[in-house]
Structure 1
Amino acid sequence: MTKTLYLLRHAKSGWDDPVARDFDRPLNKRGEKAARTIGQWMASNGVTFEHVIASPAVRVIETLDGVWAGYGRKMEPTWERRIYLASSATVLDVLREVDDAHDIIMVVGHCPAVEDLVFDLVPDDGSSPLRDEVEIKYPTAALAQLEIPIDHWADIGKPVAHLKRFVRPRDLDSSLGPDAE
Structure 2
Amino acid sequence: MSVAEPRRIVLFRHAKADWPEVADHERPLAERGRRDAPVAGRKLVDSGIAFDLALCSTAARTRETWKLAVQEFPQRPRTVYEERVYEASPGELIAVLNEVPDDAQNVVLIGHNPGVHGLADVLAGEAEGDAQTRMNRRGFPTSAFAVLTYSGSWKALEPGTATLVDYWAPSE
Determine the C-alpha separation between the residues in 2 that align with 1:109 and 1:83.
6
Percent identity, aligned pairs only?
A: 28
Decide which of 4, 20, 23 is 2:8's aligned counterpart. Answer: 4
Contact 1:96/1:153 (8 A) holds in 2: yes
Q: Deviations over 1:108-132 (max 9, x none)?
A: 10011110111111127x8653123
**Pair 1:166–1:51, CA change in 2 (3 A):** same
AA aligned to 1:92 is I
The aligned counterpart of 2:115 is 113
Q: Between Structure 1 and Structure 2, how many residues are aligned?
A: 167
What is the aligned-residue RMSD (CA, Å)?
1.7
Q: 1:76: Cα distance to partner?
A: 4.3
Contact 2:56/2:79 (8 A) holds in 1: yes
More strand by share: 2
Give 3-state SS (helix, strand or coil) of 2:134's partner: helix
Q: 1:75: Cα distance to partner?
A: 3.6
Contact 2:51/2:77 (8 A) holds in 1: no
The aligned counterpart of 1:99 is 101
Contact 1:36/1:71 (8 A) holds in 2: no
Q: Which runs of at least 4 in structure 1 moved beyond 3 Å after TM superposition?
A: 72-76
Determine the C-alpha separation between the residues in 2 that align with 1:128 and 1:113.
24
Give 3-state SS (helix, strand or coil) of 1:38's partner: helix
Q: 1:70: Cα distance to partner?
A: 2.7
User: TM-score, normalization: structure 2?
Assistant: 0.90
The aligned counterpart of 1:162 is 163
User: TM-score, normalization: structure 1?
Assistant: 0.85
Contact 2:128/2:163 (8 A) holds in 1: no
Contact 2:42/2:72 (8 A) holds in 1: yes
More helix by share: 1
